[in-house]
Amino acid sequence: MMRTYYRWTAFLLVFSLALIITGCSDSTGLDHYGYIRGHITLANTPVEPLVNQSSIEKVKTNIKSLKKSNQTKDYVEDEIIVSFKESADIKRILKKYKLSIKKSVKELGVKTLTGIGKRDIKTLIKELSNEEEVNYAELNKIVRIMAVEVNDSYYSTKQLNYLAISLPEAWELSTGSVEVTVAVIDTGIDLDHPDLTGQLVEGTDVVGDDEDYFPGADDRNGHGTHVAGIIGATTNNGVGIAGVNWNISLMPIRVLDSSGIGNNQTISAGIVWAVNHGADIINLSVGSFSNDPMLQRAVDYAYDAGVTIIAASGNDGKNSLRYPAAYKNTISVGSINYNYNRSYFSNYGTVLDFVAPGEYIYSTVPSGLTGYSYQMTDPRGYEYSDGTSMATPHVTGVAALILARARAAGNNLTPEQLKEELRLTAQDLGDKGRDDQFGYGLINAHAAVADARITKAKIFAGEETDYGIKLKSDIINVRANGTYELKNPDEGNYYIYCWIDLDQEGETGYNRVDKGDYFARTSSPVSLGNNTDLKLTLITKENFQELEIIN
């Protein structure tokens, strides 16, 4: 068989080869026409299990069920969202139905009307919808924060979640940039928290004077502060926790009140404000089951402006995502636990994109909130919480790291390009390829920041000799969905190798397997007709024995 000649230097571990070389083969789907097929995924750095009970810290949050809120209906009782046609005589309609304008979002062409009084709101909406000058009228649906109650929990370290997404390795490449602005559209952010004050830029309060005794973007609930800490708490300051980004600009936008309740109008207005004031990425750890045209228009407004929206799938354990996560122009995020299983509460479905750690997540909270049992607060200023709300800022934070590194190289990334980078570097979980439980998989911070896309992976068959690895097949690329097909390798049983070279041409490690590359090898030789899957693992060891690949 004639082949192109390949020659480069490879390093393999002298000891504990199995730590970085993993693989499996089976005899299912045999093909006797000379193929070896399989699936490749990028694996995150393995997280060691908790070793003993004495190393576990017992924790308990003060978070209570959000059901204790006095909000009983799923919509704002005295408000209707109306979209008028451009030619509409709005004053005439307002006079006819004895309504007044409470708020407007001119970029979306919608107005919030009030003055319903004792009238049946659904009948009134039907009458307004029948007006020729009205595009649509609808309830102003309630949106809730996506955190769930946490009871006693046990963990040996407070931020093991970062290890699960290979974040420490990613920090070797980028720690973020203040030139990247992330809007946290939530309950606000504690403006005086010592681990956040240096990261904040101008924000706003969309809730305003509706029920609020503390106007401004300051957080009177704690949820938004917890989310913000994950994205970008100050790091290496000797205090508190580390954020996914050490350097970042956090934009606090308060759209939920002190009980964690808001509505589609406040969320939509918050999105528009963020876009108009320079946000690059928007984190939405909120959600509703209401598919609202106004909210969708706000999401599309951000997308068209090149702003990436990352949203929580929801905490109902259902096979459907909450909005805005269900919209195609968002990146939707579910939660996993430390066993890499879907969290029991995490919503899933056909439009789920990624998963990230969402259980027992330690982050910043205001230290002195009082008056509401469902607030997230602790005298120390830090607390544990669960929810897709906590998983989402992991993805937001990694997206910000990707954008920071791209801009440092003189590039910018659209929402689709950011999503593509996350997709092609995620660790596949569950069924092979994208599935409804985990989407495209668990984000891999290092692979994403390093641009270690699965499509850069090379795969080949080889035989180890006294002189090196002798090629027994062509070298081919892995497809975007992680599959490969080695055609007509030499007859016999050979190891299958897979490798992503992250060194650039001219660098010392170029065209050789070394520290900082992703690498895998089957645990045993493979024969023709086998389906063979591999997990590419980041090489972190220095002491490799040089092996040459020869034709």
- Give the residue numbers annotated as catalytic, written as ranges: 186, 223, 389
Verify cis geometry, omega within 30 degrees of 0, for the bond prior to 324: yes
CA distance 402 to 290: 32
Residue 312 tokens, joined: 């929580």
The SS3 call for residue 332 is strand
CA distances from 514 to 308, 382, 451, 535 (A): 35, 40, 17, 17
> What H or E segment, with its residue span, contains residue 546?
strand 544-550
Residue 512 tokens, joined: 């050789």
Contact 369, 377 (CB under 8 A): yes
Beta pairing, strands 261-263 & 134-145: antiparallel
Which residue's structure tokens are 């949203």? Answer: 311
> What H or E segment, with its residue span, contains residue 104?
strand 100-105
Crossing angle between the packed helical segments 121-129 and 90-97, to the nearest 10 degrees: 150
Which residue's structure tokens are 């693992």? Answer: 537
Residue 448 tokens, joined: 């994403």
CA atoms within 13 A on the CB side of 136: 9
CA distance 538 to 45: 7
